[in-house]
């Protein structure tokens, strides 16, 4: 059995080399397909990181009436922190809110002059509430609206909710579009691999006839064609992995600046085993499966 497997692999490797330009075309289209798969992995990581960063910055700001006492606000803060849905509740006093407002409008003399003419602090205290999970913000808001005290002026939840929902929809749409593109290129790879197998079978028809006459097994006749297709997928995966290294290095620093510290090159190096398994596995599947289909369709034994 070991001797037969070694001969099958050897014959498949020779068939892959002899095919020349046809094998090159198969490897090329598979490389494009695998590159798209790898790009989608990068894109998924970038979008997930971006979404996580935005979710970390999103909170529910509860603004209180200027007449609300600090003791009432702190009691509400204690109630919120006891809820399992709440990760933290940060208190900002009216004086601190006024100081931050003055700092933000330091260059706006008209606004500061109008604020001084009021003679009193028009801003109320606030609580910045962070949920343990973004999906729990709506429940926290409902709790405040239904059971909260009458000292609450407004809650700014719904604007943040729209941002998260739109970003999530964009990520889902990108994933669906990427899946369609991968499917189309995978289909093209399969068609080219089928054409390669058909041509290889036609070129080896005399050799196949001789093997049938001497009693070669079906596996021995079919095996080399499947091996040749699998080799196409493996070579395509290795080429894709090699191309990703300089490409990720080239854009790594730029992505770290644009994406708030997410370095594509660092991500690629740290997750190289995952990329290797995904791309080589996809290449072996595409090449081997297409070759298997081609053998079953064109090689009648």
User: Residue 229 — left, alpha, or beta (φ > 0 → left; ψ -120 to 50 → alpha)?
Assistant: alpha
Strands (E), 20-168: 60-64, 86-92, 126-131, 152-155
Same domain, 243 and 288: yes
The CA distance from 135 to 73, in Å, is 25
CATH number of domain containing 72: 3.30.70
Q: Mind listing the pLDDT tens digit of every residue in the chain (301 residues)?
A: 677 777 777 776 777 777 777 778 778 888 888 888 888 888 888 877 777 776 666 678 888 888 888 888 888 888 888 888 888 888 888 888 888 878 877 777 777 777 777 777 778 888 888 888 777 777 888 888 776 667 888 888 766 667 667 766 776 777 777 778 777 777 776 777 677 666 666 666 666 677 677 776 767 777 777 788 888 889 999 999 999 999 999 888 888 777 767 888 999 999 999 999 999 998 888 888 877 777 776 566 5
In a domain, 76, yes or no: yes
In a domain, 158, yes or no: no
When divided into structural domains, the chain yields a total of: 2
Q: Which domain holds residue 74?
A: 66-150
Same domain, 188 and 215: yes
Same domain, 111 and 250: no
Residue recorded with tokens 């397909």: 33
Same domain, 281 and 181: yes
Indicate the SS3 state at residue 119: coil
Same domain, 126 and 218: no
């Amino acid at each position: 059995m070991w001797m037969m497997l070694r001969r099958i692999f050897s014959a498949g490797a020779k068939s892959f080399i002899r095919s020349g330009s046809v094998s090159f075309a198969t490897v090329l289209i598979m490389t494009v397909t695998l590159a798209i798969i790898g790009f989608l992995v990068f894109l998924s990581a970038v979008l997930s990181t971006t979404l996580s960063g935005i979710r970390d910055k999103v909170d529910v700001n509860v603004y209180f009436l200027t007449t609300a006492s600090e003791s009432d606000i702190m009691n509400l803060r204690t109630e919120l922190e006891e809820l399992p849905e709440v990760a933290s509740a940060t208190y900002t006093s009216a004086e601190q809110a006024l100081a931050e407002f003055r700092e933000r409008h330091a260059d706006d003399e008209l606004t500061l002059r109008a604020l001084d003419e009021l003679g009193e602090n028009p801003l109320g205290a606030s609580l910045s509430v962070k949920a343990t999970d973004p999906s729990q913000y709506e429940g926290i808001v409902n709790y405040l609206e239904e059971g909260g005290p009458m000292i609450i002026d407004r809650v700014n939840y719904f604007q943040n909710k729209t941002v998260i929902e739109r970003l999530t929809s964009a990520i889902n749409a990108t994933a669906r579009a990427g899946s369609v593109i991968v499917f189309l290129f995978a289909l093209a790879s399969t068609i080219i691999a089928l054409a390669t197998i058909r041509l290889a079978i036609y070129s080896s028809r005399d050799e196949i006839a001789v093997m049938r006459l001497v009693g070669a097994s079906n596996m021995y006749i079919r095996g080399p064609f499947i091996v040749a297709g699998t080799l196409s997928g493996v070579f395509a995966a290795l080429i894709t992995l090699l191309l990703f290294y300089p490409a990720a290095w080239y854009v790594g620093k730029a992505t770290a600046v644009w994406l708030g510290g997410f370095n594509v090159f660092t991500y690629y190096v740290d997750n190289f085993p995952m990329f290797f398994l995904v791309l080589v596995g996809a290449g072996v599947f595409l090449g081997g499966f297409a070759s298997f289909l081609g053998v079953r369709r064109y090689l009648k034994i």
